Structures are given as structure tokens and as C-alpha cells.
């Protein structure tokens, strides 16, 4: 019987075939939409160091070690071996291999049992994504899922999925998990013998266990290696080398380095967290911290944290959150590097740098370190003592509190807060409306991460760049914090060795690198800080107790700085790196040593100091004035009452009232201007007394039964000898300038007036409430 083929028949066949294919395609897309591919895979978060070596990892939520193998980690050797063993036509078929299916079907029918399968790599991925019982229906679902995979991914991505999901027994899935747990290396470093040994385990994961069945695995491995040679996949020499390679693998544990940083970065949700940590420095620092705190426990100091920044790359290379992560005595799992703590005096360098840039101060500017009171806030120095006249550089390297508070008052609280917020100080940004002058003495919240990043700016000529913890981090932001000149001035002050916060009994400085550093001790001795830097590194150290318990022996100088020095001696020992050079915008000049200003005609004591041209003050010193006095020097005159003769002019240093009071209380002699001519009728307008106590606008609670008197105290000009006190516009008492008086106020509003012997007056008001105490 002859079959006649006509053009019309051929056309009808093509049409039917095309319609059939179109129907199948539409059906595929419809099913693809109804039953989307379940390809959302949860991987074990992996943390790597700067070399890409794994240093920490976490189980998935279903307690699996399922580490993600990147495309870059699939070496040509790994790809070639897996494809040769599992699916040599992988790059040619569309997800299923019809010839392999037909061959397997024929063999299974001939032998009446399942003797071989026809699963491609793509179908194995489908089975791993969606576990089902092995039935004919499940096989058809696998084929459909295979087509979905081929539609959505390219071949290399499908191979990557296979390598990430292939089971290796127990809770190990994926070639990266197996290579790390059995061979301690990444997949791209595996040898041919190791890859082949791993490739046979998924077929029998319960009976082929590395470390327990190594001899059986070697036998099976060698069988496959010889098969690879017979098929021409690898050369004879390559196979012989692989056959001779021993197999000593056994299951190991995942490393758990940098636990605090790893846990912090894990929250970002990345599968592979590539940090900038350098393990050599990390391990050395962890050892130093543990040994140091072990010795400090006798002083009831139980913890420490350290952050190290490489100043050349601005990368965090060491991150120690506590003295011991497993320590349960003082909460070793608390991340001390990221905990908000009070910084003590550690913010003072930034304050003075900002004041230098504003032209308010220079290192040689002379300020007064005497008692002050800002509307009830009366700061004190660490040692409860006052030093009188001091230079700014002395105030900073001795960490004096009064000059710092005055500096913040001069600069303005908002400018200081803005600078810190620009440096990513999160808690200060949240609390900015609540912060006052006490913030410069530690009345605010910061973290060791933030403080270390801030001090790194001094090593970069005042340019702040947020230190990065992740390789390839593109979110780093830079801003100009200080000018190079201001930064250099701070560096010079903080690098001095002869200062009070140099640790006691420390002598190992012979080969120690030159550094600049600043300490801080919080209120109640709960936090000790020491942050140091040079051109190579910035090291931040915090020492204390996570419980918040203060310790009498705790201080930045003697608790944190010794550890800081030990770390620098370890990571930068005997460094010959040059120190910071004086920048072009910083120059030197001659100033009066009594004020820090340009010398006036009467200045005799001179000094050399740094300044910023066109920014620093150019006012001449005028702290000495000629005052007309009587021939016997007992009274002084003004222009209105100065006689025609019978007087002489004498130079006097103009001393602030607060300084006069301190000098008199401490027995410091000074040339006091004689009392003004009592017969002068001129009314003086400037220099009215300043009432220090009581504080203007303050409410005082006085006991009804045992009322305690309030103190009356004022600061006056140094030409004043007597003051007169008035209570509610009624004369109360006269007193010598600087002399303390007391009175018991009545309930309600009380008006207090102080008039000096020049007729200058100051008034304040206070509220008094009588209570039962």
C-alpha cells in the first residue's frame, strides 16, 4: 500500500505539530504560574576573613549545614569531575535526557526491577528542592520542575544549585559544607581525589561516612578514577596522582571565631559575610585580652573589648567583644564593642580640635581652671583639685574638666553634637535634645566602635571615614571633621609621654611605636577607656564590667592604657613609621605665655605655639594695664578722679574675679589693685559682681523644722574690696570681696542684690519652698 504525501498533507502536519507545541508551551506557562518553582533556599550564614577563609558559620533554621557555593568557587576541576560522573550530557539536554530515560526504562523492564536511573543534574536539583516519595508520579513532577529550572536559570547556575543541595549524610548538604567540615578548605581548593571521594557519598550517604568508612570510600573512589581514565576524562598521570593520594578526612567542627561581630553581621541576612578581619591580629589580641583580664579579676575587673582599625585601608581588622565569649561570670556573650557606655573624658580631643578650627583657642591659649557654676551645674576635676591658670595643651594632656566645660560653653553644644552625629554617633543623635555641658565629661552614650572610628580621623588629618567591616563595602562615607592643622595640634598634644594618665609601673616603651592616645573614666568608675593611634593603626580599648558594677581601682590610665600599650607592642612592635608632619595650614608664632595671645608692649614672658593663619585670634595681649595710684599705693584713681599730681602709674595684671577668689583661697599672691578713691563720684558701669550662690532662677527646698541657711557668694573685679548684700531690696550685710555670707530665706520669691564699692549692681531671683523634711 502506497502512502501518497501531498503538500496539503505536509502543511496540515506542520500546523498540527505547531498547534501541539503551542498548546504544550501555553500549558507549561500556565502550570509554571499555578505551581511556581520552590527555589527559595535557606543557606547557613558563613563569615569569612579578609582572605576569604571561613572563620564562623551558623546552622539553618532546620539545623542543616547548607553553605552556599558561589560560582567563583566552582573550579574547572570540580565542574569537570561532577559532570563526568553525574551527567555528561548536562550542557546539551533541556533538563531531561530522553535517551537516558529510554535506556533506564528498558533495563528496568527487562530485569523487572529498578536497576538504573535517568536523573539528570537538573532533575536531581528538582528532587532536592521538593522531596517526594519515589513514584512514577513524582518522576513526572521532577521532569516538569527540571523544565522550570532550565527556563529560569542558566546551566552554571543549575550546577551551582546542585552543588549547594547535594546531601552528604547527617545534616550536611552541599559541597562547600562537606569540603569545610571534612577537609577544612573551600571547594575550589579540593583535589581530584577529594572531589571524587565526595562525589560518591550522595549515592550512599548512610553507609559511606568519611572518618568511619574511609577504606570503603577509597575503594569506590579509585574505581571511579579508573573509569574517568578509561573514558578519557583525565590523563593517566592525573589519575595516578589521585590514586596515590591518601584519605585521612574525618568530620570536624565549624570554627567560631569573632563570635560577637559574626552575630552582629549575621543579622543583615547575607549568606556569605565577607569581613575585613585579619585572623593573625585577631587571635593575638584575643589572647592578650584574656590574659590581661585574668590578672585583673583580683581587682574585680572582669571584662574588656577591643577594636582595631588599619589606618591605611580604614578597615576593622580586629574585633573583640569580650574577654571570653563562653564566660558566664560577667556575661561574656555581651558585645562590649557595640554596647552604649559613658565615654568619660575621651571626647575632649574633638572638642579642642573644633575650638582650634573656630579660632576660639590655640594650644597655648591660657584658660582658668577654677570652680565654676553654670546654672546649678558645678563640674569638678578628676582629682577634686583646681590648677588656676593653665594652657589648653596642659588642660588636654592632663584631662582637666573645668577648661573642657568652658570650651564647650564657648564652642556651643550644638556644634559639638553635630560633629559627633556626622561621625555616626547614634545614641548622641537620639539624645541631642537632652544633652548639656556634662556631655564633654561623659554625660552621653557612645560605643567603642564609634570612638575608635572617631580617633581614626585624627590619623587621617581630620577626615572622618566610617571604618568598614565588610570587604567591598561601598557604603563608606567621608566627611571633613577637622582641618589638617587642628588635627595635627591634637596629635602633638596627645603624643606626649610625660602626663598623668601614663600607666603606673609601665616600662616596656623602649621599642614601642610612638602613638597618641586619650583616656576616659566614666562616672562611678564603671567604664575605662583608652584609644590610641599612629599612622598604621587606631586601637580602641574598653575595660569594665558588663554588670555595670563600678570598681575603685578602675581608670582609663591604669586599667585600659596598659592593655592598649600591650596591643601596640604586639601588632606594631619596633615600627619605624614616621610621625605626622606639620601641614601647610599650620604655622608657629611667638605668643605671650601668660595669655597665649600675640605679645603686647608689656609682655616679657614669651613662648612659641602653633596657630592657624587667618583663623586663630590675632588680638594682642592686654592683660596688664597701667593704673594711677596714690604715691603710697593705697588707693587707685580713674580718669574722673585722678589728681593733677601726687600719683604714679603702676602696671597691674588684670585678673578675672573667679581667679582672684581661687588665688585668695589657695594663698597665691598677686598684685591686687588698691581700693578705688572713696571720694570719686563716678558710677562704674562695667564689671558688676557675678552672684555665684544662690543660682539665679533656682527653686530651693528648705526644711520647716530645721532650716539650713543659703550661702551668699559673688565674684568681683580685682579693684573691688567690699560688697553689699540686699535681700528683697533691704540691706542685709556688707562683706569683703570674695567673703562668704549666709542667710535664711522666707518662703516665696526672694530677690537678692549685690553691689560693689564702685556702685555696680547685680540682681537675681530665687524661689523658696518650705517643706517637711
pLDDT digits (tens, 9 = 90+) for 327-379: 988 899 999 999 999 999 999 999 999 999 999 999 999 999 998 888 778 89
Q: How far is CA 45 from CA 14, 41, 67, in A?
A: 53, 12, 7
Residue with cell 528683697: 728
Residue 532: phi, psi to the nearest 5? -130, 160
How far apart, in whole angstroms, are the C-alpha atoms of residue 715 and residue 718? 9
Contacts of 342 (CB under 8 A, 6+ apart): 442, 443, 444, 445, 446, 522, 523, 526, 527
> Residue 108 — pLDDT band, cuts 50, 70, 90?
low
Stretch 696-719: mean pLDDT, rounded?
Answer: 87
How far apart, in whole angstroms, are the C-alpha atoms of residue 403 and residue 425? 24
Asked whether 86 and 175 are in contact (CB, 8 A), the reply is no
DSSP reduced 3-state for 638: coil
Query: Which grid cell sits at 620?
Result: 594682642
Side-chain-side CA neighbours of residue 577 (13 Å): 17
Q: What integer pLDDT is reported at residue 274 of this predicted model?
A: 96
Asked whether 537 and 509 are in contact (CB, 8 A), the reply is no
| Closest C-alpha to 318, from 341, 354, 345, 288 | 288
Stretch 257-262: mean pLDDT, rounded?
Answer: 97
DSSP 567: H
Q: What integer pLDDT is reported at residue 115 of this predicted model?
A: 43
Tell me the angle at which helices 236-244 and 214-230 cross, rounded to the nearest 10 degrees: 180
Q: Which residue has the higher pLDDT, 136 or 267?
A: 267
How far apart, in whole angstroms, are the C-alpha atoms of residue 460 and residue 456? 7
DSSP bridge partners of 731: 726
Q: What integer pLDDT is reported at residue 107 of this predicted model?
A: 62
Encode burial over 440-460: b for 16+ CB neighbours within 10 A, e otherwise: bbbbbbbbbbbbbbbbbbbbb
DSSP bridge partners of 517: 532
pLDDT one-digit tens code per residue, 408-459: 999 999 999 999 999 999 999 999 999 999 999 999 999 999 999 999 999 9
Q: Which residue has the higher pLDDT, 92 or 27?
A: 92
Residue with cell 601726687: 646
Q: Which residue has the higher pLDDT, 615 or 505?
A: 615
> Residue 511 — pLDDT band, cuts 50, 70, 90?
low
* Cβ-based neighbour number of residue 17 at 10 Å: 10
Residue with cell 520647716: 704
| Closest C-alpha to 520, from 350, 330, 393 | 350
Stretch 538-555: mean pLDDT, rounded?
Answer: 94
Which range in 201-210, 251-260, 754-763 is most confidently predicted, on average pLDDT? 251-260
DSSP reduced 3-state for 142: helix
Q: What integer pLDDT is reported at residue 105 of this predicted model?
A: 57
> Residue 498 — pLDDT band, cuts 50, 70, 90?
confident
DSSP reduced 3-state for 76: helix
Relative to beta strand 741-743, strand 710-715 is: antiparallel
> Residue 113 — pLDDT band, cuts 50, 70, 90?
very low
* Cβ-based neighbour number of residue 587 at 10 Å: 13
**For a pLDDT cut of 90, what percent of the chain falls above it?**
62
* Cβ-based neighbour number of residue 139 at 10 Å: 17
Asked whether 119 and 146 are in contact (CB, 8 A), the reply is no
How far apart, in whole angstroms, are the C-alpha atoms of residue 370 and residue 386? 5
How far apart, in whole angstroms, are the C-alpha atoms of residue 623 and residue 605? 12
Asked whether 202 and 121 are in contact (CB, 8 A), the reply is no
Q: What integer pLDDT is reported at residue 576 of this predicted model?
A: 75
* Cβ-based neighbour number of residue 632 at 10 Å: 9
Mean pLDDT score of the chain: 89
How far apart, in whole angstroms, are the C-alpha atoms of residue 461 and residue 491? 9
Asked whether 317 and 51 are in contact (CB, 8 A), the reply is no
Query: Which grid cell sits at 29?
Result: 506557562
Q: Which helix (H) or strand (E) holds 169?
A: none
Q: What integer pLDDT is reported at residue 731 of this predicted model?
A: 83
Point out the least confidently predicted range of 80-89, 594-603, 640-649, 747-756.
640-649
How far apart, in whole angstroms, are the C-alpha atoms of residue 201 and residue 193? 13
Amino acid at each position: 500500500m502506497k502512502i501518497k504525501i501531498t503538500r496539503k498533507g505536509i502543511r496540515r502536519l506542520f500546523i498540527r505539530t505547531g498547534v501541539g507545541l503551542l498548546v504544550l508551551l501555553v500549558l507549561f506557562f500556565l502550570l509554571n504560574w499555578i505551581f511556581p518553582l520552590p527555589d527559595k533556599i535557606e543557606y547557613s550564614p558563613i563569615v569569612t576573613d579578609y582572605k576569604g577563609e571561613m572563620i564562623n558559620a551558623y546552622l539553618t533554621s532546620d539545623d542543616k549545614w547548607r553553605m552556599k557555593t558561589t560560582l567563583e568557587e566552582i573550579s574547572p576541576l570540580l565542574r569537570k569531575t561532577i559532570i563526568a560522573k553525574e551527567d555528561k550530557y548536562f550542557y546539551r539536554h533541556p533538563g531531561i535526557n530522553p535517551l537516558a530515560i529510554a535506556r533506564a526504562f528498558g533495563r528496568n523492564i527487562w530485569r523487572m526491577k529498578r536497576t538504573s536511573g535517568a536523573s539528570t543534574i537538573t532533575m536531581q536539583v528538582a528532587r532536592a528542592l521538593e522531596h517526594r516519595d519515589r513514584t512514577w508520579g513524582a518522576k513526572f513532577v521532577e521532569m516538569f520542575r527540571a523544565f522550570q529550572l532550565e527556563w529560569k536559570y542558566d546551566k552554571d547556575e543549575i550546577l551551582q544549585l546542585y552543588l549547594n543541595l547535594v546531601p552528604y549524610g547527617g545534616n550536611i548538604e552541599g559541597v562547600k559544607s562537606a569540603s569545610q567540615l571534612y577537609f577544612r578548605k573551600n571547594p575550589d581548593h579540593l583535589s581530584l581525589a577529594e572531589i571524587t571521594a565526595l562525589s560518591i557519598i550522595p549515592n550512599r550517604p548512610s553507609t559511606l561516612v568519611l572518618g568511619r568508612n574511609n577504606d570503603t570510600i577509597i575503594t569506590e573512589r579509585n574505581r571511579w578514577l579508573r573509569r574517568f581514565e578509561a573514558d578519557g576524562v583525565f590523563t593517566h598521570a592525573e589519575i595516578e596522582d589521585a590514586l596515590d593520594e591518601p584519605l585521612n578526612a574525618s568530620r570536624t567542627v565549624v570554627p567560631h571565631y569573632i563570635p560577637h561581630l559574626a552575630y552582629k553581621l549575621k543579622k543583615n541576612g547575607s549568606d556569605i559575610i565577607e569581613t575585613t578581619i585579619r585572623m593573625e591580629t585577631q587571635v593575638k589580641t584575643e589572647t592578650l585580652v584574656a590574659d590581661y583580664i585574668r590578672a585583673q579579676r583580683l581587682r574585680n575587673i572582669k571584662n574588656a573589648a577591643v577594636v582595631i582599625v588599619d589606618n591605611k585601608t580604614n578597615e576593622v581588622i580586629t574585633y573583640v567583644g569580650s574577654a571570653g565569649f563562653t564566660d558566664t561570670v560577667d556575661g561574656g556573650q555581651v558585645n562590649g564593642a557595640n554596647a552604649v557606655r559613658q565615654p568619660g573624658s575621651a571626647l575632649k580631643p574633638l572638642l579642642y580640635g573644633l575650638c582650634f578650627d573656630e579660632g576660639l583657642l590655640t594650644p597655648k591659649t591660657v584658660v582658668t581652671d577654677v570652680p565654676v557654676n553654670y546654672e546649678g551645674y558645678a563640674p569638678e576635676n578628676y582629682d577634686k583639685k583646681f590648677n588656676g591658670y593653665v594652657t589648653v595643651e596642659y588642660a588636654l594632656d592632663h584631662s582637666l574638666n573645668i577648661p573642657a566645660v568652658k570650651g564647650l560653653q564657648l564652642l556651643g553644644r550644638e556644634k559639638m553634637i553635630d560633629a559627633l552625629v556626622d561621625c555616626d554617633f547614634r545614641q548622641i543623635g537620639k539624645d541631642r535634645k537632652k544633652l548639656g555641658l556634662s556631655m564633654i565629661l561623659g554625660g552621653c552614650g557612645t560605643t567603642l566602635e564609634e570612638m575608635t572610628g572617631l580617633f581614626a580621623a585624627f590619623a587621617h588629618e581630620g577626615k572622618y571615614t566610617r571604618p568598614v567591616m565588610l570587604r567591598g563595602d561601598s557604603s563608606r562615607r567621608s566627611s571633613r571633621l577637622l582641618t589638617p592643622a587642628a588635627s595635627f595640634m591634637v596629635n602633638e598634644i596627645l603624643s606626649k609621654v610625660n602626663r598623668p594618665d601614663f600607666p603606673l609601673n609601665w616600662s616596656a616603651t623602649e621599642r614601642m611605636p610612638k602613638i597618641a592616645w586619650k583616656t576616659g573614666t566614666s562616672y562611678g568608675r564603671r567604664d575605662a577607656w583608652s584609644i590610641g593611634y599612629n599612622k598604621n593603626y587606631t586601637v580602641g580599648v574598653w575595660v569594665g564590667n558588663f554588670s555595670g558594677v563600678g570598681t575603685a581601682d578602675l581608670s582609663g590610665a591604669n586599667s585600659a592604657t596598659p592593655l592598649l600599650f600591650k596591643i601596640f607592642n604586639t601588632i606594631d612592635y619596633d615600627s619605624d613609621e614616621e610621625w605626622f608632619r606639620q601641614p601647610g595650614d599650620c604655622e608657629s608664632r611667638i605668643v605671650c605665655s601668660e595669655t597665649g595671645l600675640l605679645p603686647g608692649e608689656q609682655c616679657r614672658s614669651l613662648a612659641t605655639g602653633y596657630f592657624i593663619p587667618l583663623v586663630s585670634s590675632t588680638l594682642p595681649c592686654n592683660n596688664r594695664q597701667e593704673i594711677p595710684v596714690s604715691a603710697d599705693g593705697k588707693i587707685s584713681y580713674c580718669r574722673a578722679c585722678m589728681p593733677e599730681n601726687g600719683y604714679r602709674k603702676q602696671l597691674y595684671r588684670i585678673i578675672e574675679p573667679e581667679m582672684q577668689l581661687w588665688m585668695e583661697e589657695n594663698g597665691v599672691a598677686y598684685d591686687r589693685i588698691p581700693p578705688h578713691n572713696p571720694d570719686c563720684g563716678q558710677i562704674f558701669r562695667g564689671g558688676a559682681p557675678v552672684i555665684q550662690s544662690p543660682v539665679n532662677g533656682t527653686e530651693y527646698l528648705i526644711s520647716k523644722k530645721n532650716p539650713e541657711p543659703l550661702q551668699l557668694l559673688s565674684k568681683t573685679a580685682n579693684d573691688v574690696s567690699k560688697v553689699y548684700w540686699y535681700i528683697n531690696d533691704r540691706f542685709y550685710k556688707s562683706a569683703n570681696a570674695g567673703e562668704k555670707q549666709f542667710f535664711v530665706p522666707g518662703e516665696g520669691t526672694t530677690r537678692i542684690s549685690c553691689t560693689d564699692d564702685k556702685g555696680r549692681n547685680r540682681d537675681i531671683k530665687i524661689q523658696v519652698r518650705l517643706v517637711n523634711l
